[in-house]
Amino acid sequence: MNKRALRADALLLVTAGLWGFGFVAQSSGMDYVGPFTYNGLRFPLGALSLLPLIAFRKAAGRLAVPPGTSKFAQFRMTLLAGLVLFTAVALQQIGIIFTTVGNAGFITGFYVVLTPVLGIFAGKKTGVPTWIGMVFALAGLYFIFVAGSFTSVNPGDLITVVSAFFWAVHILVIDNLVHKTDPLILSAGQFAWCGLFCIIAAFAAEPFMGNLAAALAPDYVIQQWKTLGELFGLVPGGGSAAASISVIRSAAVPILYGGLCSVGIAYTLQVVAQKDAPPAHATIILCLEGTFAAFGGMLLRDEKPGPFTLLGFAFMLCAMVITQWDVIGPTREKGIRPGNGVELKGR
């Protein structure tokens, strides 16, 4: 392996690690602020973090906007991508309220298997590895769901499965749009829209999140977070300004990590790395995102997955790798794969 490929693999490993530990930041952020507030703050940061890179590419004449693409067309494309992204991250963030970081990371990885399956409805082809991967994924989900108890399923796990479906839809949307405008413009635009939708949802839904938690998990005690309105003194009952400042300081690290590291830095590293990384290397390394999430949950959130859960994690990892066999193996069929758009997911 040459030095350029080795360096690219190292950068991809860092990218997977940043995305995986992003689940820890998502969980930690909700110790202080609501789920929509967290995403409403971090996604605009992610969009802003890409502006210098966009400016640099524009100055170098490297923005890949096809001739004749109007501003309104780009507006519509970023709006569509942002709406699907908002749905995926909103469900994922709500799911993390009830489940563990490790579970969220590996269940989210189900999108790797779902993407080529849903791609069939978009006229894409898929092969036998996809269906073998689906069998492994369903087995993995089973062991994660039961976790040694066959009488109940964590509602957060179910919500995260639904979010994985929308992550797969998001990949398909990006695959359709990424050739119609510059990927960086599409990425920054969708992050901005997602942040706006999250801010609206923070005002509209977060005051009622306690009722949602009580309905989904009666024994669950919801975190005493602040809503966006309370945080900035826009609604009564938020406490003193000093209390809000204290919350902002405490939440700053997970919000900044989610906005800058998971989105801006990880995105940039992946774009740089995939220029030199063999596709097989990139595919396998980026599948380790869930592994990093589980490790981060154990290290920083004191999570202790049992043997059933660990077995589920192993099945899910195998499912992701098997599904990507067309990239890893000697036969490379053309079809829809997560690698076509995963860089725009914006953890």
Helices 71-98 and 183-205 cross at an angle (nearest 10°) of 50
Query: At which residue do the structure tokens 């009666």 appear?
Result: 218
> How confident is the model at residue 342, as a pLDDT?
40
> How confident is the model at residue 343, as a pLDDT?
42
The domain spans of the chain are: 3-344
For the whole model, what pTM was predicted? 0.90
Length of the chain, in residues: 347
Beta bridge partners of 226: 33
Instruction: Spell out the per-residue pLDDT of the chain, length 347, in tens.
Output: 578 888 989 999 999 999 999 999 999 999 999 999 999 999 999 999 999 989 998 898 888 888 888 889 999 999 999 999 999 999 999 999 999 999 999 999 999 999 999 999 888 888 899 999 999 999 999 999 998 776 778 899 999 999 999 999 999 998 889 889 888 899 999 999 999 999 999 999 888 887 777 777 666 656 677 888 888 877 766 667 777 788 888 999 999 999 999 888 887 788 778 778 777 778 789 899 999 999 999 999 999 999 999 999 999 999 999 998 877 665 544 444 444 334 444 45
* Terminal Cα distance for the chain, rounded: 30
Measure the CA–CA gap between 285 and 9, rounded to whole angstroms. 8
